[in-house]
Amino acid sequence: MTNEPRRYCLITGCAGGIGQSLVKCFSSAGYQVIGTDIVVKPDNLDCLNYIQVDVSLIATDEQYAANFLSSVKGYTGDNGLHVLINNAAIQILGGIDSLTWQDWQNTLDVNLLAPFFMTKLLLPELEASKGCVINISSIHASLTKSNFVAYATSKAALSGLTRAMAVDLGSRVRVNAIEPAAIETQMLIEGFENNQTELEKLKQYHPIGRIGQADEVAKLAITIAGDGMHFMHGACISVDGGIRSRLFDPS
């Protein structure tokens, strides 16, 4: 009887709604999950390996990034890294008149530069295992609304980065993105806490009649990472309940 080598998956932003579902899904699939987030590890997080990290510093501080890489290698050893999921993101709402220089820098550091430098930092680990990168982008990459200027721009750039990295890396490491529409996370529900009517409207805007579930995003991610999906490269896949296909006319 031979022991199969361990497969490792690193997930950023793992303490949030989508992040926790990603952790659970990949753990259930047999991956050794390394979860990262800026907060102290939540008690209910189903993740044995955890690194508290500020991903914005991965993008701006080379020594901080090197220390993080050492921590990752402390878990993976010589096994390499099989999946990197760049899920961490921030959403600073505001329009052209209200967004500050710092709002823009923070948004780009976390949502765009961190995924690039995280991939660059872990590229040797990913290449050693013929691994893949999955960027969690957003429907805002192509369709947006007022007060999402910084967030939408960062996600459009992340989807563009996904395609560019796929071309640049060729067969070395696969890179794909998922672009969800509204997903039922605690953060989203809390945003509608005092306005259930608007929440119900949001559900009905989606042709399927509801908003998405975090585990639906996670299940797609596990499929993309699977051994049978090697031809999927540079794709940005919508998970949107049909809303991307729907035209709303003023009435």
Catalytic residues: 151
Locate 100 and state its tokens.
Answer: 């500050």
Query: Is residue 115 within 8 Å of 135, Cβ to Cβ?
Result: yes
Q: How far is CA 234 from CA 26, 98, 134, 223, in A?
A: 21, 34, 10, 15
CA distance 171 to 104: 34
Scored b (16 or more CB within 10 A) or e, 164-178 reads: ebbeebeeebbbbbb
Taking alpha carbons only, the member of 29, 33, 36 closest to residue 15 is 36
Q: What are phi and psi of 195, to 5 degrees?
A: -150, 70
